[in-house]
Structure 1
């Protein structure tokens, strides 16, 4: 395969992607375009621009974009309409960010005439799959370069030596072994590796970055009301907010009450198990609130079908199939279910818990007249239940009769 002439690199400005930038230039002799996405990771991104310029990238080839609103509106919110959890716990914070990054990589490649894109994901993880499946779905002819699967820089020592040989600045704390690796965006932080590799050992408190420990959280609960329209959160305590503004505020609320911590051993798509520590304070509140408003607005059959489909939907996102037809088909079904999911959920935030304590909706299916223990004024004839039970019991009675024979 011929060498690419121009490559768009997913660039963070950190040591690894800076090494990749220089490696692409030396290995392929190609021009490099850098793309840095602001997904709400909480870091200043201008240093990435300065680092790229220092490494010789032309100013017109440096792309830094604020994608926070698109991220929450077009990726996080559709996923939350499904109440998606991978393996029953993981809110898919890293997984849902990758298709958006890949989308912009492909779009920038087309805009700049690049014939390849590159990423810094390793050959052991899920992200390589997510980036590349998305890229190929959006541009079947694009070439994807994954340096970690190609180069001989297989140790931290070799990486640092390459950096020094090529005059790549190395932060002092990067000269030693980092205690763990971190991925962050507006939805979550993910910490893996090093001090977390033994799943029998409790994660040290310094791993957590967005949340106080539940033990240190306030001793007084805080109440919050979240408003919904067509399944999406639109307001907090009556104040209308954009998707990114809303999630940002929920992160602050959840963080100070120690909400959204999980310590998970998960099954990676590539086959191995890995241990991750995740913080999703705003997302954890949002999930509880969404299920709360669905509890009074979704029909039982629709709600149960959604719950049956959710693990499949979550697995598709985790495995990198956001742009697959099956995910889009499931999304259409999920979105149809959200037509009447509107109203307000009230939650109590306290010591690591986000508990639903109230819910109201103009589209509510809850009828106090039907469920009351007081006089229901003829709304429900309890005698009807006898026939209902007999019909449903018929096959069980026949089975029981056969067993007795």
Structure 2
């Protein structure tokens, strides 16, 4: 999922699972309260609150940052005053680093006509020579990276991040609609997710039918929107998951990716399920499963509805006056 065609919902997806883990632990130790540090102006407060309320309505939620309306500047000055030692330049940004990318918010992201400077990104570009990366998928999930097999999918993602991060890949600025109704803007770097999503999409194009791709994209976008907007516990999410899992049964093969500073190129795929390998024809070259007359008849029938429409409209149209 790329929210608004841009953002791989890095933080939003992880917040839900953080909330689930927190409330499970709170219940296991018999806690009366849980606390989080979200402000009143973002999405995370809803993700935490909603999950806590549904799974443990008896536990009180404490939110001092939100309730006291504390600003980042106030917090920095408070820390300085009380002798806290830190890189306060970095504290000017809210940096959320996770498995599926790192978001960077603050300063320039608060203005529509500015972008993050190079130094604001946690990872700097150090790799300058191009290299080839291969990702093997089985049933839509990563199976191997550069020929090395991974049973642990998390470790596979981390390995890809290790390889692509020095190229400073996956940087962009996301502008989206928050759960609370205001527009939000955040910078991010998500090298591994962007490469993985691109490679996975390429393999799907080769192994899924037209309508599988269409409905996978429709339901995937809905799933991503619901996940982003704290609706993970909505039962329809389990229904969508069943479809998404089923759609991946033939998404198996290797994707070749070339890495360059700040960009990557999807070279191609190798798959036993590649639908281009059919015996019916080669696009733009030769047909093997039909004749020229078959295509002529097919096209004539295909155009019937449009022919009728245009014939009727032309008969009823009057010349427009100058």
- With the length of structure 1 as denominator, give the TM-score of the two structures: 0.71
2:174 aligned partner: 264
Partners of 1:178 and 1:159 in 2: CA distance:
7
Cα offset, 1:160, TM superposition: 5.1
Mean Cα deviation higher: 154-163 or 106-115: 154-163
Contact 1:288 1:355 in 2 (8 A): no
Cα offset, 1:169, TM superposition: 5.8
Cα offset, 1:173, TM superposition: 4.0
2:277 aligned partner: 367
1:387 pairs, out of 297, 303, 316, with: 297
1:194 aligned partner: 107
Partners of 1:345 and 1:155 in 2: CA distance:
43
Contact 1:163 1:169 in 2 (8 A): yes
1:17 aligned partner: none
1:182 aligned partner: 95
Q: Give the 3 Å change call, closer, same or farther, for CA 211–297 of structure 1 in structure 2.
A: farther
Partners of 1:324 and 1:294 in 2: CA distance:
27
Q: Are residues 1:331 and 2:214 paired? A: no
2:19 aligned partner: 102
1:221 aligned partner: 130
1:290-338: CA deviation from partner (whole Å, max 9, x where unpaired): 0111112111111111122332222111111122212222111111101
Q: Give the 3 Å change call, closer, same or farther, for CA 393–142 of structure 1 in structure 2.
A: farther
Contact 1:289 1:356 in 2 (8 A): yes
Contact 2:76 2:91 in 1 (8 A): no
Contact 2:137 2:254 in 1 (8 A): yes
Contact 2:72 2:92 in 1 (8 A): no
Cα offset, 1:129, TM superposition: 0.9
Cα offset, 1:140, TM superposition: 4.1
Matches of residues 135-284 of structure 1 in structure 2 within 5 Å? 135-151=52-68, 153=70, 156-157=73-74, 161=78, 170-174=84-88, 178-212=91-125, 217-218=127-128, 220-241=129-150, 242-284=152-194
Partners of 1:390 and 1:157 in 2: CA distance:
72
Partners of 1:153 and 1:98 in 2: CA distance:
21
Q: RMSD across aligned C-alpha pairs, in angstroms?
A: 2.4
DSSP-derived class of the 2:160 partner: helix
1:136-155: CA deviation from partner (whole Å, max 9, x where unpaired): 33334433222233236567
Contact 1:211 1:259 in 2 (8 A): no
Partners of 2:92 and 2:76 in 1: CA distance:
17
Contact 2:108 2:116 in 1 (8 A): yes
Partners of 2:235 and 2:225 in 1: CA distance:
14
- Segments of 5+ residues of structure 2 without an aligned counterpart are 316-322
Q: Give the 3 Å change call, closer, same or farther, for CA 386–255 of structure 1 in structure 2.
A: same
Partners of 1:304 and 1:313 in 2: CA distance:
14
Aligned length: 313
Partners of 1:150 and 1:293 in 2: CA distance:
48
- Segments of 5+ residues of structure 1 without an aligned counterpart are 1-83
Contact 1:120 1:146 in 2 (8 A): yes
Cα offset, 1:232, TM superposition: 0.6
Partners of 1:233 and 1:122 in 2: CA distance:
36
